[in-house]
Amino acid sequence: MKEYTDKQASIAHFAKALGHPARIAILHYLASQETCFFGEIHDVLPIAKATVSQHLKELKEAGLIQGDIEGPKVRYCIHKENWELARVIFADFFNDCVCKKGSCGCHEEQHD
């Protein structure tokens, strides 16, 4: 049986973490901050408090964010090294996986 490459496994790992709109909203919000965010994500995004921790856990496990407890609050930040890695491997994936003209019909006009 053939093995998947490390790059394929990394893409799938990051893609799984990106597979929910709430996680995309969390990442979008954190990436727009100039500093780490201290506070409750559910206060600034339309996400129920009960579901926030699960989404944050998924993003942390994928390595896309960091969260540290500091006193009574948690500090959330984009994990910059992994963020850059994800950006590069997704860009490479989409640049390398281009539909060849005629191979999938996406470049051909449909005629009845």
- Residue 26's identity, in one-letter code, is I
Write out the chain's pLDDT in tens, 112 residues: 689 999 999 999 999 999 999 999 999 999 998 888 887 788 888 888 878 889 999 999 999 999 887 777 788 999 999 999 999 999 999 888 777 665 665 544 544 4
| Of residues 57, 56, 61, the one with CA closest to residue 27 | 56
Instruction: Give the tokens for residue 57.
Output: 């856990």
Greatest Cα-to-Cα distance within the chain, rounded to the nearest angstrom: 67
Domains and their CATH numbers in the chain? 6-96 (1.10.10.10)
Stretch (H or E) spanning 58: helix 49-61
Q: How far apart are CA 75 and CA 52, in angstroms?
A: 14
Q: What is the pLDDT of residue 34?
A: 82
- Residue 82: predicted pLDDT: 95
Q: Report the SS3 class of residue 34.
A: coil
